[in-house]
Structure 1
Amino acid sequence: MIRAAVFDVGETITRDDRYWASWADWLDVPHHTLSALVGAVVAQGRDNADALRLARPGIDIAAEYHAREAAGRGEALDETDLYDDVRPALSALRHLGIRVVVAGNQTPRMGDLLRDLDLPADLIVTSGEWGVAKPQPAFFERVLEVSQASPEETVYVGDHPANDLIPAKAAGLRAAHLRRGPWGHLWADDPEVVARADWRIDSLSQLTSIIAH
């Protein structure tokens, strides 16, 4: 029985369109160019940040992030960044008595922005606030602490096999792989994903139906 559902953020709860567009504007490269570079690193199984390194060789990403914030062009989030199924699915899960947690690899600033949206979640927290990031085992230890349920009663939901699915299963959690965003679509039928995922879903509403029944 599932008692807690914990959700990744990027391409699970929120679209990454604004994130990459804002970086493209800051680096003064066309949006489609950076999107193509993101697709290339995803296909190679590399970290998304490598797209920025390809667009601007030698970039100090942390320094550029702080420069963007100082210039008033930093992280932003509003209702249009949410996928349409997020509020209905999270609300339905809470109605079923499921503890809903949002926990992903984001900055403390993004944690504040997410909480400002007043999502139907019991807790919203980011790796930047915890000081530990996926796929490190310590991140999923924290996930289990805040889930307030046993590993087999907790499902982690995300699009990224290496950051979400595989380390969640290694920690003993149930895992739902979401076919959403470049990682979710590209790796949806990968044999390891098929073998390890407890569920493979195309929407958060599909997960709600699975848990309900």
Structure 2
Amino acid sequence: MRAVAFDIGETLIRDDRYWASWADWLGVPRHTLAALVGAVTAQGRDNADAIRLLRPDIDLAAEYAAREAAGRGEHLDETDLYDDVRPTLAGLKEAGIRVIVAGNQTRRAGALLRGLNLPVDHLATSGEWGVAKPDLDFFARVLDAAGVAPHELLYVGDHPVNDLYPAAEAGLATAHLRRGPWGYLWADDAKVQKTADYTIDGLNELLAILTERDERVT
């Protein structure tokens, strides 16, 4: 395996700040919005539907812009990263594996992530590319960034519909991460287990998995 590509939300960064900030902006208890995110997740719906349940008439793009203008928009710092992120990315790089970060986030999130100076070869968001998962064109962009053949790229993510299934359809190897609501909820699903080449509980498992795999191949 010559490259590993990572999803962003609930793979590299925690989403609790994101949802808490939306709850505060909408004036609802944080646990209310968190529970609704869980509910729409279980129903297989877009997580933004949690906000629409609270405000059916909301224009999300306009509301996002209003938050930014009020100085209450997106924010990311080191505390938003899961503890295993930096050591894993650095370990993969040291092993000569190309590291890509690509997920369904805004342009603003892309700029904030680059500000964290993660040890990666390429970082991009759907907002910057103009195409979002699960569109197969997104994974074509991931492959272009990696510069490898599909079977040489492992895509790591928590969301079956956005990460696992389309990545596998694009010919990539896949690792399903048991992290966050989507990762835990669907971990035991038969289709998820059949599709994923690997199921992991943390990113720190990746280097050993890839090393063992390469040893078997050689």
TM-score category by the smaller chain?
A: over 0.9
> How far apart are the structure 1 equivalents of 2:206 and 2:190?
21
- Residue 126 in 1 paired to residue 125 in 2? yes
Deviations 1:100-137 (A, max 9, x none): 01000000100000000000111110000000000001
> How far apart are the structure 1 equivalents of 2:207 and 2:14?
20
Is the Cα–Cα contact under 8 Å of residues 169 and 175 in structure 1 kept in the other structure? Answer: yes
> How far apart are the structure 2 equivalents of 1:54 and 1:184?
23
- Residue 19 in 1 paired to residue 6 in 2? no
* Residue 60 (structure 1) shift: 0.7
Match for residue 28 of structure 1? 27
Q: Helix, strand or coil: the match of 2:199?
A: strand
Superposition pairs of residues 180-191 of structure 1, within 5 angstroms: 180-191=179-190
- Residue 68 in 1 paired to residue 67 in 2? yes
In structure 1, give the amino acid aligned to 2:99: V
* Residue 16 (structure 1) shift: 0.1
Match for residue 151 of structure 1? 150
Deviations 1:23-59 (A, max 9, x none): 0000000000000000000010111000010121211
Match for residue 108 of structure 1? 107
Q: Helix, strand or coil: the match of 1:77?
A: coil
Equivalent pairs, count: 212
> How far apart are the structure 2 equivalents of 1:136 and 1:116?
27
In structure 2, give the amino acid aligned to 1:206: E
> How far apart are the structure 2 equivalents of 1:177 and 1:44?
19
Match for residue 202 of structure 1? 201
Match for residue 45 of structure 1? 44
Is the Cα–Cα contact under 8 Å of residues 96 and 212 in structure 1 kept in the other structure? Answer: no
In structure 2, give the amino acid aligned to 1:31: R
> How far apart are the structure 2 equivalents of 1:16 and 1:70?
21
Match for residue 216 of structure 2? none
In structure 2, give the amino acid aligned to 1:198: D
State the percentage of identical aligned residues.
68
Is the Cα–Cα contact under 8 Å of residues 158 and 165 in structure 1 kept in the other structure? Answer: yes
> How far apart are the structure 2 equivalents of 1:27 and 1:198?
40
In structure 2, give the amino acid aligned to 1:208: L
Displaced runs of 4 or more, over 2 A? none
Q: Helix, strand or coil: the match of 1:177?
A: strand
With normalisation by structure 2, the TM-score equals 0.96
* Residue 212 (structure 1) shift: 2.1
Q: Helix, strand or coil: the match of 2:110?
A: helix
Q: Helix, strand or coil: the match of 1:200?
A: strand
Q: Helix, strand or coil: the match of 1:113?
A: helix
In structure 2, give the amino acid aligned to 1:55: L
Is the Cα–Cα contact under 8 Å of residues 158 and 178 in structure 1 kept in the other structure? Answer: yes
In structure 1, give the amino acid aligned to 2:104: N
Q: Helix, strand or coil: the match of 2:187?
A: coil
* Residue 207 (structure 1) shift: 1.4
Q: Helix, strand or coil: the match of 1:66?
A: helix
> How far apart are the structure 2 equivalents of 1:33 and 1:106?
23
